[in-house]
Structure 1
């Protein structure tokens, strides 16, 4: 028996009738989480994929780290390691809390002092730094794009974290934006300012044809060495799902030294450790090659990017997206091996957003479809 106070109910998703994941949990003390309640929380996470716990303003960075680590007790390293190359597209987005280095500060605006950090300038990632065709400057206040559909993962040397925790500390309110796909479909979604958007890899796998399911179950994806440096000059599609192939990737001889043993190759399909369900989990942006069951290796970037894009694009239809409407004190946990997510939105000068993020490089590789 767990705590009598633990309760979980499905998330309310206004305007969507096909989002089949997400839960809101009440009746837990995350600063002092019992083993019984943690087991309930873990089961809830792996059956719901995204879990929201409200009013967690009192959650300390230490408790956030300890909670995140309980999902994978054999690891203790931040998901991207101790240092990030200055050329990486991730470098400018993260500030490390000095007294809890596994926890990062992300957001937007100037912050005088926060958790031992002084006079920091946070910068919310804006799609105009990464997309080939960004929203025009005239429309930027009202319209936006998904920045980059991704999992939290270094994809070189370190394994993708099992779980990510995000805590909203300061959230500007009052504005909404129209997120446009701008991919020729006319798709768009009214979203809260600075939402974090999610889609389900499990639903995506279920939507595949039997032929595509077979291809996904039997193929593996090789990711580039130093992937976020490798793609630092490339341009993303307007819906944030993958890159254009323009030959702009950084050549191997211009990357940091490459250790072949640290290059990561993972199954396309990842198995849920609780339900056994399959999720299509290909991170198309840093993908370098596809290894087929036959032993053939596909390495024409333009062709493999297009193939994976066609598999994944149905999963980001508007009715399948959960855009979280952040409130201060929200703690969101998500199954990083089962959902993909994206930063969304553009902030004005003077709008301050402060979040704490924690994820830990996994102690194991993702579970493939043949894992017992």
Structure 2
């Protein structure tokens, strides 16, 4: 008897009448542990069209080697298979197996490009990790500008966006084309209420442990004509080893830029770096399949701006960090409104895949009493750095 033909369904998400979100699709009928070439052709087209795919009804948990294979396929020219943030440091050993990574991001030994994120204990006998191994979670108390949300209010469900970003090291290594998350364990409890804490009183109810996302295309659309012209013609220089550089500073409470307090780690105190590996990227990137343009900026890692409003106009170089951040705040803040944000509510065994060069995302906090959040994440250094999108005729 011939095997039954699978019916593959790609259904665009419906976000409701009050939402401006126009990305995302749900995929059924593809077993990612048994991915075929024809399956991937469907996924490749759908991902570039919808920018976010949620794979439902997986027969079993996605294996790390298959998560890596799915992610790797999006960049056939990338041959090293390296992790998007470079080489992991040694972390610990168990039963003769060395484990690399960070306490909040250990690598899975059998597939070191796949890391475990979240908070709390991993399941028993989980891919060679020691019994009782716990993932260190995020905590805005250690990164955001005070005042912080009091512990009792956090436990009652108040939350924050931790860091709005696209994945990438922003130094030497090209940012990944896609990101991939498998939900292994998810927190259980009522929705949390995310606070903007920027003086506007804005807040948003979301599922606990959700990954929040906005579209760079929507961010670009919301800019004034003058700011849009600047975005198309300008570049951002990112700090060397920018995550080490910002580690001693405070994030804004909204998580989109760094507060200018002079607390950044001095450049001569960073691990060795070379000017030739500093990343200077355009602000607008193009989807290679659909041609859509997205504003892709990382407000926290930005170090210097090269501003131009036209191709043949003068260039202004901005080195004052307060001015750099004020400019990027004006670019980023308009899109960071509840109507533009999709907060993905993870369900165990589901997989999400997103186009990292068109979306921004942020982790969100949740009460510790809700239990662990254990995710497998895979992102791989790309074979190319992003190029500037073509300037529309009316802005050239």
TM range (shorter): over 0.9
**How does the TM-score come out when normalised to structure 2?**
0.88
Question: What SS does the corresponding residue of 1:139 show, helix, strand or coil?
Answer: helix
C-alpha distance in 1 between matches for 2:7 and 2:233: 43
Aligned counterpart for 1:129 among listed residues 142, 151, 169: 142
What's 2:354 paired with?
334
Give 2:62's aligned residue: 59
Taking the TM superposition and a 5 Å limit, the aligned residue runs for 1:118-197 are 118-119=130-131, 120-133=133-146, 134-141=148-155, 142-197=157-212
TM-superposition CA deviations, 1:126-182 (whole Å, max 9, x none): 222111132122311110110000111111110100000000011122232100101
| Superposition deviation, residue 7 in structure 1 | 1.6
Tell me whether 16-25 or 213-222 shows the greater mean CA deviation.
Answer: 16-25
Q: What is the CA distance between 1:14 and its match in structure 2?
A: 6.0
The offset of 1:367, in angstroms, is: 3.2
Range 248-257 or range 50-59, more displaced: 50-59
2:125 & 2:264 partners in 1: Cα distance? Answer: 37
The structural deviation recorded for 1:12 is 3.9
Q: Distance in 1 between matches of 2:201 and 2:118?
A: 29
RMSD: 2.0
Retained in 1: the 8 A contact 2:245–2:270?
A: yes
Equivalent position of 2:306 in the other structure: 291
- Please state whether the residue corresponding to 2:130 is helix, strand or coil: strand
Matched residue, 1:105: 116
In structure 2, the residue matched to 1:77 is: 82
Distance in 2 between residues matched to 1:118 and 1:295, nearest whole Å: 55
Q: CA deviation at 1:361?
A: 0.6
CA distance in 2, matches of 1:350, 1:175: 9
TM-score between both structures, scaled by the size of structure 1 = 0.94
Contact 1:269 1:278 in 2 (8 A): yes
Which 5+ residue runs of structure 1 have no aligned equivalent?
none
Q: CA shift at 1:84, angstroms?
A: 5.6
Aligned in 2, Cα 1:85/1:340: closer, same or farther, shift over 3 Å?
farther
| Distance across 2 between alignment mates of 1:279 and 1:195 | 23
Q: Name the counterpart of 1:5.
A: 7
Partner of 1:247: 262
CA distance in 2, matches of 1:174, 1:349: 8
Partner in structure 2 of residue 49 of structure 1: 51
Identify the residue that residue 261 of structure 1 maps to in structure 2: 276
Find out whether 1:323 has 2:312 as its counterpart: no
**Does the CA-based 8 Å contact 1:222-1:287 persist in structure 2?**
yes
Runs of 4+ off more than 4 Å: none
Q: May I ask how many residue pairs the two structures share in their alignment?
A: 367
Q: Secondary structure at the match of 1:19?
A: coil
Give me the whole-angstrom Cα distance separating, in 2, the residues matched to 1:72 and 1:85.
Answer: 28
CA–CA distance in structure 2, aligned partners of residues 259 and 113 of structure 1: 42
Q: 1:85 Cα deviation (Å)? A: 10
Structure 2 unaligned spans of 5+ = 92-100, 309-313, 392-396
Q: Secondary structure at the match of 2:205?
A: strand
**Are residues 1:220 and 2:222 paired?**
no
